Amino acid sequence: MRTIKDPKEMQAYSLKMKGQGKTIGFVPTMGYLHEGHLSLVAAAKTKADIVVVSIFVNPTQFGPEEDFRSYPRDLKHDKKLLNDFAVDILFFPSAARMYPKGSQSFVDPGGLAEKMCGLSRPNHFRGVDTIVSKLFNIVQPNLAFFGEKDYQQQLIIRKMAEELNFPTKVISLPTIREFDGLAMSSRNKYLLPEQRKQAAILYQVLRLAKKEIKGGEKNSRRLLSRLRRLMASAPSLKLDYLVIVDPETLEETKTIKGKTLIALAAYIGKTRLIDNLVVETK
């Protein structure tokens, strides 16, 4: 595996490969890789000639009070994992190279960024769309892979790529979970043992939602109050949001039918975790 740090060198490499008719599969990450990331890498390996993984903890998607500085990093371990998957290129740029002094252009997702996570993280998705646009222009991927754990993120990126006509297909893949259902996340590392135990309730809430909907529940309000009651059984969890929405528009659903997204975010101590499930009914 070759590591490239310079965006211009990365772009030149990709343009050269595409000029030779090669396809590029891309997995953008913030590093501290887990099985969720690796499932994306594995998919990229099967679908593209060349696989590029980026590791970049993107400052513009963190709020001033958030965990940019403390976000877990372990480049050595990440490199080992990516090497084992025979990834072709690790793109590992510095923040100074990605955002030269005076940079002021950004990509704004519009209304989808004002719901769910956007409410407690006001400029988060603007930072996401900006860095992903930059990375798409640098890496020139035919295919880019994202995890469904970050449901709103992959939706916003998919729409952005379509609306701005990027020649990149955005592919989303299922959330990978721990033994007890907790969605894999680099931030799980922050959890103390007792917090980690209680974090499992998040997936139980989603499973209950699925069971109730499959069992015929159509009333969002009634279902939400039942889910909140279960949530309350884990006293160290503070709910940020719990919503039942349309998976394409993120508009709240009153009467559940067709494809429905159940999504939530909660704080455990200072750690903010998110999870979601798409449920389909007739």
Binding site for a copy of itself (CB under 8 A): 7, 11, 15, 18-19, 21, 100, 103-112, 129-130, 133-134, 137-138, 140, 159-160, 163-167
CB of 84 to a copy of itself, least distance (A): 29
Tally Cβ neighbours within 10 Å of residue 63. Answer: 13
Closest CA to 160 of 126, 117, 120: 126
Q: Which is nearer to a copy of itself, 157 or 199 (CB)?
A: 157
Q: Which is nearer to a copy of itself, 23 or 70 (CB)?
A: 23
Closest CA to 176 of 188, 167, 191: 188
Cβ-based neighbours of 76, under 8 Å, separated by 6 or more: none
CB of 88 to a copy of itself, least distance (A): 19
Instruction: Report the distance separating Cα 32 and Cα 273, nearest Å.
Output: 16
Buried-state track 135-144, b at ≥16 Cβ within 10 A, e below 16: bbebbbbbbb
CB of 186 to a copy of itself, least distance (A): 25
Decide: 51 and 43 in contact? Cβ < 8 Å.
Answer: no
Q: Which is nearer to a copy of itself, 52 or 237 (CB)?
A: 52
3-state secondary structure of 78: helix
Could you confirm whether 77 is annotated as catalytic?
no
Q: Which is nearer to a copy of itself, 115 or 272 (CB)?
A: 115
- Dihedral in degrees, nearest 10, Cα atoms 175, 75, 199, 280: -10
Annotated catalytic residue, options 34, 37, 77, 124: 37
CB of 65 to a copy of itself, least distance (A): 23
Q: Which is nearer to a copy of itself, 157 or 202 (CB)?
A: 157
CB of 96 to a copy of itself, least distance (A): 14
Q: What are phi and psi of 169, to 5 degrees?
A: -90, 125
Active site members: 37
